[in-house]
């Protein structure tokens, strides 16, 4: 019995419910290109497709690319907002406002899930892991300086190992230098004193240095009165460092409350957001962020950035100053109140001190956007020059290199062999077009670069010939990582489908460019922009292929070691890897922790623990 045909977009529009929820628009390739939320899905979604709708250019372009949609129902609009944030973060849809390179923003993590917490730099926030996060920050160097300062001011564990305060080794050099006076590795730590240090560190990271300074002052005086002069001296040094930071902070408000000031400026190149962080009336820090997909102006950028930023922000103040009113004010305030555990107010200042702060932040945002425009213009000019130089050297027409595809393979003695394809459009990576191939034709794990390249290009052009929408774009130039042999194999693969796209090989040893049928390779000057562009393309496809190879090899290694444990079948193996992430993390887990994975019990967990301990 055949399954029923899937509903068309028109049929789905007719069957939309009136409940709150999220809707997901998809393009012809099935990619999610936009995620939105609504208190009434039917009314909101249908409004996109009304002929009389007065859409912005961005929305018109979005609607023109919608060929399918899904929706997820929720009980309330607040639940829809939370789900929308999570879906956008997961799928990074093309037409939603996005934090540019938001995955790269560093956070400071206070590892409060450990017996003796530390401060680490991380780029991933894991909800519910028991740790506390502060950020995000846009300046990686400043974050590293902050960590160094924290370890100089607060006597926390400085190494990367976890300790239980059991005697495991002699105190290390950091202990003798006074940088890790507690030394839990040698069982010397006072747990209560260390816990207080962790609390002080958390107060410091929250920007509440005034209250921390008062607390340290009181402790220092008490220690001096008790004739604990060495402890008093250490507290004095901490106090001096804290007071130095406090003196640098500018008093900008007569109120003692906490505020975030958010200024947004936008144009066709994107949007810039300037954040001022005010704690207790003092400006303790500032960050600026760049947004993509904000062509519809400041209002959209403000609302979307609010949701993107505070989804993972470590702290939500009682008041957030905005440059303009947003339509979802009440529901966003409700969401932020839930995260903060207290009232949060979104306000647009019109006069006085708050207005002055907004103007100052706006000036900084405008400067950031101006720099963005200048950098973007200079970068594109440099890339255009490199493309022109490359086209000329290859005997191709000017402005003909719209799409460059590059291919590389990765393996270890023929095992876990994979291929990678990357795409550059107008000289810039287009990651949505990257593709991966698992090599299937190597006999007996025998390494053969030419055969691997032939298979990858054969499969690429076979998909193109069959009309697979993921492979229908025609390349302006194909770059093969390798010399004459790899280039010849790629040529053979292409010609069997009747295609004749320009193709070159780039040999790494001497950075020579090989053309099909040419007797001599092209050698660019070492400082030629065209060579830099080719190297960037080659390095990117190499990175892409080798990353995939490591993933495949790592999964195979994980599978093989778990397959050897009695009682661990495919489902338990899958659950263990999903729960812990890797075998390396499983090896660090106790039997009790292993038993928490789905499908495990105490007996099996002990067997896994014993096996991995001896592995």
Q: What is the CATH number of the domain that holds 33?
A: 3.40.1440.10
Average pLDDT over residues 413-431: 84
Residue 334 and residue 294 share a domain: yes
Given 34, 64, 96, the domain boundary residue is 96
In this prediction, residue 512 carries a pLDDT of 87
State the pairing for strand pair 503-507/512-514.
antiparallel
Residue 519 and residue 423 share a domain: yes
Q: Are the CB atoms for 106 and 135 separated by under 8 Å?
A: yes
Q: Who wins on pLDDT, 131 or 34?
A: 34
Q: How confident is the model at residue 370 (pLDDT cuts 50, 70, 90)?
A: confident
Q: Who wins on pLDDT, 110 or 371?
A: 110
Q: What is the C-alpha to C-alpha distance for residues 553 and 470, in angstroms, rounded to an integer?
A: 26
Highest mean pLDDT among 136-140, 399-403, 510-514, 561-565: 399-403
The one-character DSSP state at 365 is: H
Q: What is the DSSP string of 507-529?
A: ETTTTEEE-TT-SS-B---TT-H
Q: Who wins on pLDDT, 501 or 240?
A: 501
Average pLDDT over residues 474-501: 91
The one-character DSSP state at 8 is: P
Residue 462 and residue 437 share a domain: yes
Q: Who wins on pLDDT, 586 or 306?
A: 306
The total domain count for the chain is 5
The structure tokens listed for 88 are 């956008």
Q: Who wins on pLDDT, 191 or 238?
A: 191
Q: Who wins on pLDDT, 288 or 414?
A: 288
Residue 467 is part of a domain; what is its CATH number?
3.30.420.340
Residue 295 and residue 432 share a domain: no
The structure tokens listed for 135 are 């950020």
* pLDDT of 317 over the 80 cut: yes
* pLDDT of 252 over the 60 cut: no
The one-character DSSP state at 500 is: -
Nearest to 428 by CA among 406, 460, 408, 404: 404
Q: What is the chain's mean pLDDT, rounded?
A: 83
In this prediction, residue 286 carries a pLDDT of 79
Residue 539 and residue 590 share a domain: no
Residue 418 and residue 542 share a domain: yes
Residue 601 is part of a domain; what is its CATH number?
1.10.150.20
* pLDDT of 302 over the 60 cut: yes
* pLDDT of 567 over the 70 cut: yes
* pLDDT of 1 over the 50 cut: no
Tell me if 395 is assigned to some domain: no
Angle ∠(101,102,106) on CA atoms, nearest 5: 110
Residue 428 and residue 546 share a domain: yes
Average pLDDT over residues 422-448: 83
- 146-160 per-position pLDDT tens digit: 787 778 777 788 877
Residue 529 and residue 435 share a domain: yes
Angle ∠(561,563,564) on CA atoms, nearest 5: 70
In this prediction, residue 591 carries a pLDDT of 84
Given 49, 71, 96, the domain boundary residue is 96
Tell me if 171 is assigned to some domain: yes
Average pLDDT over residues 230-245: 71
In this prediction, residue 30 carries a pLDDT of 86
Tell me if 28 is assigned to some domain: yes
| 428 phi and psi angles, rounded to 5 deg | -125, 145
What ranges in 394-525 are assigned the alpha helix state H?
A: 449-465, 484-495
Residue 148 and residue 76 share a domain: no
Tell me if 273 is assigned to some domain: yes
Average pLDDT over residues 47-71: 87
Domain with 544, as residue range(s), is 403-552
Highest mean pLDDT among 166-175, 414-423, 463-472: 463-472
State the pairing for strand pair 282-292/98-99.
antiparallel
Place of tokens 């102006």: 297
In this prediction, residue 601 carries a pLDDT of 87
* pLDDT of 428 over the 80 cut: yes
Residue 77 and residue 16 share a domain: yes
pTM: 0.62
Average pLDDT over residues 499-515: 87
Q: Are the CB atoms for 173 and 151 separated by under 8 Å?
A: no
Q: How confident is the model at residue 390 (pLDDT cuts 50, 70, 90)?
A: very high
Lowest-confidence range among 86-90, 501-505, 586-590? 586-590
Residues in the chain: 615
Tell me if 236 is assigned to some domain: no
Residue 321 is part of a domain; what is its CATH number?
3.30.420.10
Query: E strands along 430-583, which residues?
Result: 435-438, 477-481, 503-507, 512-514
- 110-121 per-position pLDDT tens digit: 888 888 888 888
In this prediction, residue 246 carries a pLDDT of 55
Q: How confident is the model at residue 554 (pLDDT cuts 50, 70, 90)?
A: low
Average pLDDT over residues 269-277: 82
Residue 521 and residue 422 share a domain: yes
Tell me if 464 is assigned to some domain: yes
Q: Who wins on pLDDT, 378 or 336?
A: 336
Tell me if 451 is assigned to some domain: yes
Residue 444 and residue 475 share a domain: yes
Average pLDDT over residues 366-381: 82
């Amino acid at each position: 019995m055949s399954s029923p045909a899937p509903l068309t977009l028109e049929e789905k529009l007719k069957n939309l419910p009136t409940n709150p929820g999220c809707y997901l628009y998809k393009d012809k390739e099935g990619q999610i290109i936009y995620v939105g939320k609504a208190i009434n899905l039917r009314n909101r979604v249908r409004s996109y497709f009304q002929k009389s709708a007065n859409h912005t250019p961005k929305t018109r372009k979005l609607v023109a690319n919608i060929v399918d949609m899904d929706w997820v129902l929720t009980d309330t609009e607040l639940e829809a907002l939370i789900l929308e944030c999570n879906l956008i973060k997961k799928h990074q849809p093309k037409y939603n406002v996005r934090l540019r390179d938001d995955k790269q923003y560093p956070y400071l993590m206070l590892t409060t899930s450990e017996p003796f917490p530390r401060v680490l730099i991380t780029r991933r926030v894991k909800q519910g892991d028991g740790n506390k996060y502060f950020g995000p920050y846009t300046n990686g160097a400043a974050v590293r300086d902050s960590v160094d300062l924290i370890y100089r001011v607060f006597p926390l564990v400085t190494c990367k190992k976890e300790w239980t305060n059991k005697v495991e080794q002699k105190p290390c050099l950091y202990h003798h230098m006074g940088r890790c006076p507690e030394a839990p590795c040698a069982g010397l730590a006072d747990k209560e004193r260390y816990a207080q240090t962790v609390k002080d560190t958390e107060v410091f990271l929250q920007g509440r240095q005034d209250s921390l300074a008062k607390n340290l002052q009181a402790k220092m005086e008490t220690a001096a009165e008790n004739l604990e002069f060495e402890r008093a001296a250490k507290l004095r040094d901490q106090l001096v460092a804290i007071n130095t930071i406090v003196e640098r902070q500018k008093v900008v408000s007569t109120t003692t409350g906490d505020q975030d000031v958010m200024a947004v400026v936008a144009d066709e190149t994107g949007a810039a957001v300037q954040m001022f962080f005010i704690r207790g009336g003092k400006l303790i820090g500032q960050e600026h962020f760049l947004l993509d997909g904000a062509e519809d102006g400041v209002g959209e950028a403000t609302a979307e950035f609010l949701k993107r930023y505070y989804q993972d922000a470590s702290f939500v103040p009682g008041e957030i100053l905005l440059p303009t009113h947003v339509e979802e004010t009440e529901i966003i305030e409700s969401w932020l109140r839930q995260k903060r555990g207290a009232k949060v107010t979104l306000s647009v200042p019109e006069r006085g001190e708050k207005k002055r702060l907004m103007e100052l932040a706006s000036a900084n945002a405008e400067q950031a956007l101006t720099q963005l425009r200048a950098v973007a213009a200079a970068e594109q000019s440099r890339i255009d020059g490199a493309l022109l130089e490359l086209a000329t050297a290859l005997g191709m027409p000017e402005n003909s290199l719209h799409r460059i595809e590059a291919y590389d393979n990765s393996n270890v003695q023929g095992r876990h062999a994979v291929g990678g394809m990357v795409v550059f459009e107008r000289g810039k990576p287009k990651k949505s077009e990257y593709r991966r191939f698992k090599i299937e034709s190597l006999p007996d794990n025998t390494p053969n670069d030419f055969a691997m390249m032939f298979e990858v290009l054969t499969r690429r052009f076979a998909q193109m010939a069959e009309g697979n929408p993921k492979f229908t774009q025609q390349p302006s130039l194909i770059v093969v990582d390798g010399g004459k042999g790899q280039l010849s194999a790629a040529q053979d693969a292409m010609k069997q489908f009747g295609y004749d796209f320009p193709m070159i090989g780039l040999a790494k040893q001497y950075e020579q460019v090989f053309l099909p049928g040419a007797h001599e390779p092209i050698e660019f000057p070492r400082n030629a922009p065209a060579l830099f562009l080719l190297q960037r393309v080659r390095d990117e496809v190499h990175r892409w292929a080798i990353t995939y190879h490591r993933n495949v090899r790592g999964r195979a290694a994980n599978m093989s070691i778990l397959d050897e444990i009695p009682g661990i079948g495919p489902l338990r193996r899958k659950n263990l890897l999903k729960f812990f992430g890797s075998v390396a993390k499983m090896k660090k887990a106790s039997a009790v922790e292993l038993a928490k994975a789905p499908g495990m019990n105490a007996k099996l967990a002990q067997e896994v623990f014993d096996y991995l301990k001896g592995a």
